[in-house]
Chains A and B, each alone.
Chain A
């Protein structure tokens, strides 16, 4: 079709040195404005946070092997789940895909040389690290026992822990999110290379664009909410505390007005990743590209209107319940569309099952189970018994861990050869992906049953009839933990010993595959050729054969 050829204004050819090697020394990394290096910085930091959150999860699961609590005191358990929640949400899930893969790939995928504001990008990372270190230090030195949701008046009047300091840390980190979002939005608008029209954008870029809008619009509300908590704790102004004439539900409205869209900050990028991987390994253009775009945009818009479904038993009015419920059902429709389209993309393809594809298929499966259970929670009658039980824990782990983490790992595996220039052990990678899928279900499926039977969440100790299911869940968690460790080993090995990857090991389409692996500092040495997104049925610019239409 219309493979547009254009000439971007690249400088005279430099020797092809990768962005890793053009300059060396710690200073060249810590002061870099190269989006690719900043992506690496983010990747390293969020991996550390993931490990910390994971250790906390392991401690909780060990504790829950016995009804009276096997490992931790009630106080420590409460601080542990707060730590786990705070770290996983703000320091892993929210930045995960956008700050690493998005940072690295967004400019390359649209044919730009960097983000619109490279120095702002570096500053975002520093804000993230400062907020992160600060929060983690507070959480470790003394700890906080409010849960990551900071519900008032417990957090404002009753908790004796360092709520304000942690809130300040999260507040600072929020700015990093906002700045990253702004940077992505401007970049997508202004720096697309000629010929890269909106409907030629890869869905990953669409995902980044949609998520950036949510980040910029929702995060300020979090900042306000956290500031008000601080104010209330210090000055007792009476915003949330009923004893002073405040309203405890106001806090929940404000909190979820941010935190519900925040779950879309976590899942939209994951959808973008899956939409890159599945067409590539099915050798087939994505089914219903336009619908996929509308669904992304639809999810991010409606995502702002459903926060109240966290409050069906909180004492909200029945009218509000009705409205929030119907909107929550509505948002399930675009999510369902996406699942159907991914499935339909497989039809009439030439499918292979490399590790990224296994992760992506795992993502679709787990996201779907998580989404379906969300539908039950959206029905107010069912939410009454299920709310705040392990059913909810299972639901959001399916979506966030089964969905976002699987997609993140899928993306890491898919773009690993591009980012590092090396290949990893395919056999180990496939094994880890499959083990992870089973370990995950083994850990979290029993929690659906626990929730139905009535086990409340955030319990340090529980009645004995729940023990069998808890043991199953903990056993699954140890398998899952192992499955998370294996990639650390083979990916680490690949960094030093892996075979050279070549520019396009998967025969993928998209501009990022037209440059060298790893890319040079300025991203492209030769002008890339813009095609329609997912042109797997057209011959590729680098000579890969077309693979669509014939038998």
Chain B
């Protein structure tokens, strides 16, 4: 029997963890208070008014004020907790502007991680302390869920969508990572660890694992190899939109609507090109679903992000 486990409390390893724990313990306290309160009252009534015991058993006539009170009071308390919870939730949804993006692709049954500098790892995520990290995640097959208890973060990872999650680690160490959305046979093995390092050590780790090709450069290579540049390149003969600096731009669609060119839009334009047609262009682009993996699409998005309108960047060999 494993002894150590029982009282091992959850470490507070991210900036997110402490405020959440405060809310957690407050709610545990509140619930315990109410529950114990009701239990004590029930118990006292059961003793005092059990059959055969002399007691005053006259019933009050007007109970409405009591009932209104115990309807209103819990309601107000609940709303208080709701507001508290909501502020924390809002914070968990908005990564700071300076957050570093790391890409995660889930598949049955592993986590594939790509750092912007081109470093790749599986089932392990290295991050520095003190830097807000934003994970941009997608799945190659079914729904998974990225969960690091020590950081109190969790987010489902869906095929065909990008979901994100952010945290700032504060304590160096190894923390377990789990998949919490049931995803088939080896769901319970789909875990790993997050290794939190001091920034200096992290920089060293990045260097040691440097492949010489940043994610954007990999994307640029793919952009050419897979034939994207044949249509979208500067001297292409096909009438296709120019993609330099596309990221974040507002795009007008043929159905009259507009959409911001975010990760999801770019992903869908590659995998499901018929879904949204850019105004003024014929729907001739072939679908690359089956042709490109989700990791490759992420690399291409990283490349498009790095381009500037009109310029021709070639990040060959550069490291971010």
Using Cβ atoms and an 8 Å threshold, which residues of chain B touch A325?
A: 82, 85-86
Closest to A342 in B: B42
Using Cβ atoms and an 8 Å threshold, which residues of chain B touch A541?
A: none
CB <8 Å contact, A469 and B5: yes
Among B53-61, B215-223, B239-247, B301-309, the stretch that binds chain A is B53-61
CB <8 Å contact, B187 and A458: yes
Taking a contact as CB atoms closer than 8 A, the residue among B59, B188, B272 that contacts A348 in the complex is B59
Using Cβ atoms and an 8 Å threshold, which residues of chain B touch A389?
A: 180
CB <8 Å contact, A468 and B6: yes
CB <8 Å contact, A349 and B184: no
Interface residues of B in 54-101 (CB under 8 A from A): 54-59, 63, 66-67, 70-71, 74-75, 78-79, 81-82, 85-86, 88-90, 92-93
Q: Judge whether A140 is part of the interface by a CB distance below 8 angstroms.
A: no
Q: Judge whether B174 is part of the interface by a CB distance below 8 angstroms.
A: no
Q: How far is the CA of A169 from the CA of B263 in the complex (A)?
A: 41
- Would you call the interface of chain A mostly helix, strand, loop, or mixed? helix
CB <8 Å contact, A379 and B49: no
Shortest beta-carbon distance from A83 to chain B in Å: 14
Contact with B along A439-471 (1 / 0, CB 8 A): 000000000000011101111111111111101
Among A150-158, A175-183, A227-235, A413-421, the stretch that binds chain B is A150-158
Interface residues of A in 125-154 (CB under 8 A from B): 145, 147, 149, 151, 153-154
Among B125-133, B158-166, B228-236, the stretch that binds chain A is B158-166
Q: A158-B108, A382-B20 are in contact. Are A145 and B81 (CB under 8 A)?
A: no
Q: Judge whether A542 is part of the interface by a CB distance below 8 angstroms.
A: no
Among B115-123, B142-150, B250-258, the stretch that binds chain A is B142-150
Using Cβ atoms and an 8 Å threshold, which residues of chain A touch B209?
A: none
Among A30-38, A96-104, A361-369, A491-499, the stretch that binds chain B is A361-369
CB <8 Å contact, B154 and A326: no
Q: How far is the CA of A551 from the CA of B2 in the complex (A)?
A: 58
A-B pair count, CB < 8 Å, reads 259
Using Cβ atoms and an 8 Å threshold, which residues of chain A touch B6?
A: 468-469
- Would you call the interface of chain B mostly helix, strand, loop, or mixed? mixed
CB <8 Å contact, B149 and A454: yes
Q: Judge whether B18 is part of the interface by a CB distance below 8 angstroms.
A: no
CB <8 Å contact, A313 and B155: yes
Interface residues of B in 168-185 (CB under 8 A from A): 176, 178-185
Q: How far is the CA of A283 from the CA of B149 in the complex (A)?
A: 50
Using Cβ atoms and an 8 Å threshold, which residues of chain B touch A157?
A: 142
Interface residues of A in 492-551 (CB under 8 A from B): 537, 548-551
Interface residues of A in 53-71 (CB under 8 A from B): 67
Using Cβ atoms and an 8 Å threshold, which residues of chain B touch A75?
A: 185
Among B31-39, B194-202, B278-286, B310-318, the stretch that binds chain A is B31-39
Shortest beta-carbon distance from B40 to chain A in Å: 10
Using Cβ atoms and an 8 Å threshold, which residues of chain A touch B85?
A: 325, 379-382
CB <8 Å contact, A288 and B153: no
Shortest beta-carbon distance from B159 to chain A in Å: 5
Taking a contact as CB atoms closer than 8 A, the residue among B51, B66, B82 that contacts A283 in the complex is B51
Q: A145-B185, A248-B158 are in contact. Are A333 and B75 (CB under 8 A)?
A: yes
Among A218-226, A370-378, A402-410, the stretch that binds chain B is A370-378
CB <8 Å contact, B31 and A466: no
Taking a contact as CB atoms closer than 8 A, the residue among B153, B182, B184 that contacts A384 in the complex is B153
Chain A residues touching B, range: 35 or more
Using Cβ atoms and an 8 Å threshold, which residues of chain B touch A375?
A: 27, 31, 78, 81
CB <8 Å contact, A380 and B182: no
CB <8 Å contact, B158 and A343: no
Taking a contact as CB atoms closer than 8 A, the residue among B49, B179, B289 that contacts A282 in the complex is B49
Q: Judge whether A351 is part of the interface by a CB distance below 8 angstroms.
A: yes
Q: Judge whether A212 is part of the interface by a CB distance below 8 angstroms.
A: no
CB <8 Å contact, B67 and A454: no
Shortest beta-carbon distance from A426 to chain B in Å: 15
Q: How far is the CA of A14 from the CA of B141 in the complex (A)?
A: 68
Using Cβ atoms and an 8 Å threshold, which residues of chain B touch A340?
A: 38, 70
Q: A288-B63, A551-B57 are in contact. Are A337 and B71 (CB under 8 A)?
A: yes
Q: Judge whether B4 is part of the interface by a CB distance below 8 angstroms.
A: yes
Q: Judge whether A245 is part of the interface by a CB distance below 8 angstroms.
A: yes
CB <8 Å contact, A382 and B50: no
CB <8 Å contact, B3 and A318: no
CB <8 Å contact, A460 and B31: no
Q: Judge whether B275 is part of the interface by a CB distance below 8 angstroms.
A: yes
Interface residues of A in 338-360 (CB under 8 A from B): 339-341, 343-344, 346-353
Using Cβ atoms and an 8 Å threshold, which residues of chain B touch A158?
A: 108, 141-142, 184
Closest to B108 in A: A158
CB <8 Å contact, B152 and A551: no
Q: How far is the CA of A303 from the CA of B40 in the complex (A)?
A: 30
Closest to A249 in B: B158
Q: How far is the CA of A342 from the CA of B169 in the complex (A)?
A: 47
Q: A74-B186, A159-B184, A384-B92 are in contact. Are A468 and B10 (CB under 8 A)?
A: no
Taking a contact as CB atoms closer than 8 A, the residue among A243, A343, A453, A456 that contacts B38 in the complex is A343
Q: Judge whether A191 is part of the interface by a CB distance below 8 angstroms.
A: no
Q: A291-B67, A315-B161, A467-B2 are in contact. Are A151 and B8 (CB under 8 A)?
A: no
Q: Judge whether A8 is part of the interface by a CB distance below 8 angstroms.
A: no
CB <8 Å contact, B86 and A381: yes
Q: A336-B74, A343-B41, A453-B149 are in contact. Are A153 and B141 (CB under 8 A)?
A: yes
Using Cβ atoms and an 8 Å threshold, which residues of chain B touch A147?
A: 182
CB <8 Å contact, B58 and A549: yes
Shortest beta-carbon distance from A287 to chain B in Å: 7
Taking a contact as CB atoms closer than 8 A, the residue among A284, A318, A468 that contacts B2 in the complex is A468
CB <8 Å contact, A351 and B45: yes
Q: Judge whether A263 is part of the interface by a CB distance below 8 angstroms.
A: no
Q: How far is the CA of A537 from the CA of B31 in the complex (A)?
A: 35
CB <8 Å contact, A351 and B181: no
Taking a contact as CB atoms closer than 8 A, the residue among A332, A372, A381 that contacts B88 in the complex is A381
Taking a contact as CB atoms closer than 8 A, the residue among A243, A348, A548 that contacts B56 in the complex is A348
CB <8 Å contact, B46 and A351: yes
Closest to B37 in A: A343
CB <8 Å contact, B3 and A468: yes
CB <8 Å contact, A347 and B49: yes
CB <8 Å contact, B154 and A549: no
Q: Judge whether A78 is part of the interface by a CB distance below 8 angstroms.
A: yes
CB <8 Å contact, A248 and B145: no
Q: A287-B63, A365-B42, A384-B89 are in contact. List 12 more A-B contacts (CB 8 A).
A: A243-B289, A245-B275, A282-B49, A315-B156, A341-B67, A350-B50, A352-B50, A379-B27, A388-B145, A389-B180, A469-B6, A551-B58
Nearest 3 interchain pairs by C-beta: A242-B160, A454-B149, A379-B85
Could you list 16 examples of A-B contacts with CB < 8 Å?
A241-B159, A318-B89, A336-B70, A348-B49, A353-B46, A372-B31, A382-B85, A454-B178, A458-B182, A463-B191, A464-B2, A468-B2, A469-B6, A548-B57, A551-B56, A551-B57
